[in-house]
Amino acid sequence: MIHHHLSDEMIMAYAAGSLSAGQSMVVACHLDICPDCARRVAEAEVIGGAMIDDVAPSDLSDGLFEQILLDVEEDQSFPVPQIGRDEAKEGYPEGPVAGENPSMPRILFEMIGGDFGAVRWRTVGPGIKQFLLPVPSSEGEKVRLLKLSPGFVTPDHSHHGSELTLVLKGSFSDETGRYRAGDIQDAEEDRHHQPIADTEEDCICLVCTDAPLEFKGVITRLLQPIIGI
């Protein structure tokens, strides 16, 4: 059972398509395994559509459509597509992948080419491994899988930006509570915590950060450029 859900603000932002590519992916993965939040997103979309219908139409200037066509013809250099709410869900209507891990979102399964056994983990320190996901994100944003060994204590840290974490396997605990498979934690810039992998199995999380973490220990700060977290 999922105990930690998306905030109302995150639900509305996702429904409006205003989240970053990395955050959109993490949220889409949570929705794939959380019927409650998926229902709330659907409700937010209905509300948003009703609000648009209530907006009075306005007249467009003469020649606007022709000018748009000219702009498209002049600019043929299209940017790398971002993963938004529609792109993140497109092609994955069947929910999470059944089998070894019921909390494996189909989006993630397709991206890594299998279950967690297919991930090419890179050790970044004793008891912690990571895998960077190829998500076309904004500058400074990174999406990664983190694998914490049983009993691993994350170095004490705070944040320069936001940190959105979805637990996919095992669980961790910090000052705000315990997070199990399917739970999501939205740690804002002022959050100071020290998560601990508190089960006898590995804790695997999908994490999106938009800025480096701020570690408190001297040794950890020195190693931060090497481990890249």
pLDDT at site 75: 39
Q: For the chain, which residues make up each domain, given as ranges?
A: 114-227
3-state DSSP assignment of residue 200: coil
pLDDT band at 68 (very low <50, low <70, confident <90, very high): very low
Q: Which residues contact 69 (CB under 8 A, 6 or more apart)?
A: none
- Tokens 């007249």 sit on residue: 59
Which DSSP state fits 179? Answer: E
- Mean pLDDT in residue range 7-21: 94
pLDDT digits (tens, 9 = 90+) for 196-227: 999 999 999 999 988 765 665 434 443 444 44
Kindly provide the residue ranges of all beta strands, DSSP E only, lying in the chain, ordered along the sequence: 122-125, 128-132, 142-148, 157-159, 163-169, 171-174, 177-180, 184-187, 196-197, 203-209, 213-215
C-alpha to C-alpha distances, 140 to 19, 151, 187, 225, nearest whole angstrom: 15, 30, 17, 14
Mean predicted confidence (pLDDT) in 100-108: 78
- Is residue 205 within 8 Å of residue 166, measured between CB atoms? yes
Token pair for 163: 């940190």
List CB contacts of 197: < 8 A, sequence separation 6 or more.
148, 149, 150, 151, 152, 153, 170, 171, 172, 203
What residue type is 166 in one-letter code? Answer: L
Confidence of residue 92 (pLDDT cuts 50, 70, 90): very low
Which stretch, 15-29, 40-54, 146-160, has highest mean pLDDT?
A: 15-29
CATH 2.60.120.10 fits 114-227, yes or no: yes
